[in-house]
Structure 1
Amino acid sequence: MALGLRSAIGSDVGRRRTANEDSGAAGDRLLVVADGMGGHAHGELASALTVAAMIDMDERLPADASGLDLLAELTAAVDDASARLAQHAQTDPDTQGMGTTVVALLLDGDRLALAHVGDSRIYLCRDGALTQITRDHTMVQQLVDEGQITPEEALVHPRRSVLMRALSTDHPVEADLEFLDPRPGDRFLLCSDGVTAVLPDQAVLDVLAAPTPPEVAVDQLITLSNDGGGPDNITAIVADVVEASEVAPHPLRLVGAAAEVRS
């Protein structure tokens, strides 16, 4: 069965930041969120360049990509993004050290491919249950995996935002890649940590499981994140999996720094 994505996207600077270093894009088959690293120079440029690399990959693909390896295409796009960051740093030394996370979903027919680097996340809401699909590339997640701290301790750990893996100007990075098994009725959330650092899983589930359109869910996630203090930029994509015949083509939607760079 050919599947489609009915999606909505939104981004907000939050309550404590003066600029939005997040970028996001939502198209007919590509969804991507990138969170520029705020502790480094020009995080907004890093996220925008990364989203641009993903968009260029999508635009190069044929309408029917059934004969292509989607994971290889996503790998090439991540490599392209890393190369763009490195090249920009060579021409503008002030941007040396900029970095970003990235999460992306790419749909073709009934195949849904995922790429992930950093601590932006992808969740699946299915049959009223929430599953975190990605695993954070952070120091505290590594400590949890090694049994040194509990997941509850990780939530308040002073170094919970320290990344072990991210796209940067320094060297190429290996993305986590996998195929998912989408079903009509599934709802996916792609988001920066401006959402997940504030909202517990139950609050995310309450929003995603409600019978509301993706646009409403995105607005609610942004509002709740701001109500919780809005300590960081907030970007979210909510996408419902439906039969392809139920989705009308729509123009690519850009938010955050990616929208500002392209405008």
Structure 2
Amino acid sequence: MTYVLRSLAVSDPGLVRPNNEDVAFAGNRLIAVADGMGGAPAGEVASEIAISSLAPAERSAPGAEPVTALLDAIGAANTRIRAVTDADQATEGMGTTVTAMLLAGRRLAVAHVGDSRGYLLRSGSLSQLTRDDTFVQALVDQGGLTPEEARRHPQRSLVTRVLQGGPLAPATVALIAQPGDRLLLCSDGLSDVVDDDSIAATLVGFPDREECARQLVKLAHQAGAPDNVTLVLADVVPAVDPETSTAGIEPA
């Protein structure tokens, strides 16, 4: 059986940042989030390049290998970022995270760089499909910090890998989708301030995607929302389902 995604994207500037450097895409087969590097020049340019490079994968051949399609698109984005920074010194140092999922039939591919996250809710259980490319995650992996200590660490936002025009090997995951799977991509503006238990409870407790997305943003606001909050929420359904997905970004 072939599946498609019912998806939507929401991007909110948060309560502190004067601008929004996050960009997202929500389609029938592709979902993606990119978070421009905070404090670096033209972070919003880098995140827009990432998403515009990924968008054509939505129309890739359903029989094509989805992991390869994502890696090719991210590689193209990385090359474009390098070209922009070479042409304009004012953008030197810009970069972006990117987390994307592509559905091809029943095959679901995940590609990831940075600290935006990808989650899978299946049968009421939440799994994080991505690993944060951050300084504190490396300490957690080495046993130097607990996950809870990492959430409070002053350097928790120090990212160790981003799309910045240099050599890059994104992490990938491949799995078989199941009807009823709920997928969540989010920038760290959500995951840094809302813990996984609260995210899981919201994904389970709000079946309607729009209500669920609003609740997740509300939780981030209640926690202070110090960063841009962007998320893509998608449900896996059989392709014969008549409901079409909602693609695009809701303005903040």
Indicate whether the TM-score tops 0.5: yes
1:99 is paired with a residue whose SS is coil
Asked if structure 1 preserves the Cα contact closer than 8 Å seen for 2:99 and 2:112, the reply is: yes
Task: Name which of 249, 253, 259 aligns with 2:248.
Answer: 253
Asked if structure 2 preserves the Cα contact closer than 8 Å seen for 1:49 and 1:84, the reply is: yes
Matches of 2:120 and 2:58 in 1, distance apart? 23
Letter in 1 for 2:151: L
Distance change in 2, residues 1:121/1:174 (3 Å):
same
* Runs of 5+ consecutive residues of structure 1 not aligned to the other structure: 258-263
Matches of 1:26 and 1:172 in 2, distance apart? 27
Matches of 1:132 and 1:221 in 2, distance apart? 16
User: What is the RMSD of the two structures over their aligned residues, measured on CA atoms?
Assistant: 1.6
Aligned-pair CA distance for 1:6: 1.1
Match of 1:216 in 2: 211
Matches of 1:71 and 1:92 in 2, distance apart? 32
Match of 1:260 in 2: none
Is 1:106 the counterpart of 2:102? The answer is yes
Asked if structure 2 preserves the Cα contact closer than 8 Å seen for 1:13 and 1:233, the reply is: yes
Letter in 1 for 2:230: T
Match of 1:92 in 2: 88
Match of 2:72 in 1: 76
Aligned-pair CA distance for 1:101: 0.4
Match of 2:25 in 1: 25
Match of 1:152 in 2: 148
Asked if structure 2 preserves the Cα contact closer than 8 Å seen for 1:119 and 1:135, the reply is: yes
Provide TM-score, normalisation by structure 1. Answer: 0.91
Match of 1:129 in 2: 125
For each residue in 1:38-92, what CA deviation from the matched residue of structure 2 results, as whole angstroms up to 9, or x when unmatched?
1211111100000000013434x23xx21x2221111111110101111111221
Q: Which runs of 4+ in 1 moved over 4 A?
A: none
Is 1:35 the counterpart of 2:30? The answer is no
Asked if structure 1 preserves the Cα contact closer than 8 Å seen for 2:118 and 2:186, the reply is: yes
Is 1:138 the counterpart of 2:151? The answer is no
Distance change in 2, residues 1:155/1:9 (3 Å):
same
Is 1:238 the counterpart of 2:245? The answer is no
Aligned-pair CA distance for 1:213: 1.2
Asked if structure 1 preserves the Cα contact closer than 8 Å seen for 2:49 and 2:80, the reply is: yes
1:230 is paired with a residue whose SS is coil
Match of 2:164 in 1: 168
Aligned-pair CA distance for 1:181: 2.2
Provide TM-score, normalisation by structure 2. Answer: 0.95
* Runs of 5+ consecutive residues of structure 2 not aligned to the other structure: none
Asked if structure 2 preserves the Cα contact closer than 8 Å seen for 1:83 and 1:172, the reply is: no
Is 1:11 the counterpart of 2:7? The answer is no
